[in-house]
């Protein structure tokens, strides 16, 4: 992982999020306030625009600049949560050394743990954490197993999709959707869908490398 890797992933993700924008917007209109797609698109744009400023920086500095940009530039729960993700990834030890698969897993796990602490949402509360926590658990398993990396990434895309779909029948107990009670049932959580698309895009780009 390098700053250039992060920027190129953000560009890939932009394309996929734009392709699915109408669906994500509708999901947040159903159980939120409709701005989730705008927050995600703005966040990605801000990260991509940082390219010239950060492309030659060491990973830790680049991650911190991305975190600051996301925290100050995106509103909503997602701004705070994704900002926290990048900020904590930057705190993973030994980022100045070569980042292998194991270290990359550690970084993502650290970032997701911090999001969990920040938002205080666990599995089953109908948020993006329903996708992210199981992905983090799988990464934790993969980093110390002999599973082929591509096979592991393909399992992760499956977990993310299953968990995103599973938010449909949940009651929401965190975030705006929690005010809806039973009416939140029958709708997939918008943050779960955007997170799943992001994970799917990154995993597939690594699988096809």
Residues that bind ligand ADP (CB under 6 A): 28, 32-33, 35-36, 39, 76-78, 81, 119-121, 127-129, 174-176, 189-192
Q: For Cα atoms 23, 133, 163, give the angle at the middle one, nearest 5 degrees.
A: 45
If the CB atoms of residues 70 and 107 are measured against Mg ion, the closer one turns out to be 70
CA atoms within 13 A on the CB side of 176: 16
Binding site partner of 52, from ligand ADP, Mg ion, none, Cβ cut-off 5-8 A by kind: none
Binding site partner of 128, from Mg ion, ligand ADP, none, Cβ cut-off 5-8 A by kind: ligand ADP
Binding site for Mg ion (CB under 5 A): 28, 32-33, 35-36
* Closest CB 122 distance from Mg ion, rounded Å: 20
Q: Three-class SS of residue 91?
A: coil
Residues in the chain: 209
* Closest CB 25 distance from Mg ion, rounded Å: 10
- Which residue number has the CB closest to ligand ADP? 191
If the CB atoms of residues 81 and 142 are measured against ligand ADP, the closer one turns out to be 81
If the CB atoms of residues 54 and 184 are measured against ligand ADP, the closer one turns out to be 184
If the CB atoms of residues 31 and 54 are measured against ligand ADP, the closer one turns out to be 31
* Closest CB 17 distance from ligand ADP, rounded Å: 13
- Asked if 190 and 128 count as a contact pair (C-beta separation under 8 A), the reply is no
CA–CA dist 9, 205 (Å, integer)? 8
* Closest CB 89 distance from ligand ADP, rounded Å: 17
Place of tokens 């744009």: 45
* Closest CB 58 distance from ligand ADP, rounded Å: 30
Residues whose CB falls within 8 Å of the CB of residue 174, separated by 6 or more in sequence, listed in order: 119, 120, 121, 125, 126, 127
CA atoms within 13 A on the CB side of 117: 9
Taking residue 58's Cβ as centre, other Cβ atoms within 10 Å add up to: 12
């Amino acid at each position: 992982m390098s700053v250039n890797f992060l920027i190129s992933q953000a560009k890939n993700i932009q394309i996929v999020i734009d392709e699915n924008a109408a669906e994500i917007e509708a999901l947040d209109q159903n159980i939120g306030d409709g701005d989730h797609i705008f927050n995600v698109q703005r966040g990605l744009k801000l990260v991509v625009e940082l390219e010239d400023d950060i492309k030659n920086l060491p990973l830790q500095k680049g991650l911190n600049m991305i975190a600051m940009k996301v925290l100050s530039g995106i509103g909503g729960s997602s701004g705070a949560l994704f900002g926290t993700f990048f900020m904590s990834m930057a705190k993973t030890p030994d980022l100045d050394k070569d980042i292998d698969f194991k270290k990359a897993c550690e970084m993502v796990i650290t970032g997701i743990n911090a999001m969990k602490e920040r938002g205080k949402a666990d599995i089953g509360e109908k948020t993006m954490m329903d996708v992210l926590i199981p992905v983090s658990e799988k990464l934790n398993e993969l980093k110390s197993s002999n599973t082929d990396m591509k096979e592991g990434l393909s399992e992760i895309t499956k977990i993310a999709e299953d968990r995103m779909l599973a938010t449909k029948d949940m009651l929401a107990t965190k975030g705006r959707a929690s005010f809806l009670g039973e009416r939140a049932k029958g709708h997939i959580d918008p943050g779960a869908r955007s997170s799943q698309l992001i994970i799917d895009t990154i995993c597939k780009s690594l699988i096809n490398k």
